[in-house]
Amino acid sequence: MKCNNSSMKLQKQEIEFRAFMAVLFPEQNLLDDSSKFLPRLNYAYGLINKFQMSDKDFKDFLACIGKKHKRNNWMPAEILNYYHLSVGDISMVV
């Protein structure tokens, strides 16, 4: 069976994103598959997934969320905004 490295990288990033968000927002129980916030998390990941980030860009993106997000809730558009802030593409900031 042939492994697709880009597919494996995207799966790894999705798992890391979910774990990172679960740490930032423990009250949302994002590691539980029955969490009512999981559809929103999956939608947010879908927004950023289309950019196919390198590992460095992905780490910078997570660091940007950790540094800049101050509230105890979030919206998918904010996550997309953090992506654009982290890679320096402010032309598409929401």
User: What are the backbone angles phi and psi of residue 92, rounded to the nearest 5°?
Assistant: -115, 15
Q: How far apart are CA 33 and CA 11, in angstroms?
A: 16
- Please give the chain's pLDDT, 94 residues, in tens: 445 666 676 689 999 999 999 999 999 999 999 999 999 999 999 988 888 888 898 999 999 999 988 888 899 989 988 988 888 755 544 4
Spell out a b/e string for 47-61, using b for 16 or more CB atoms within 10 Å of the CB, else e.
Answer: ebeeeebeeeebebb
Q: What is the pLDDT of residue 93?
A: 46
The pair of structure tokens assigned to 56 is 């460095």
The structural domains of the chain, with segments of one domain joined by +, span 5-92
Answer left, alpha or beta for residue 3, where phi above 0 means left and psi between -120 and 50 means alpha: beta
Q: What is the pLDDT of residue 1?
A: 43
Q: What is the pLDDT of residue 73?
A: 84
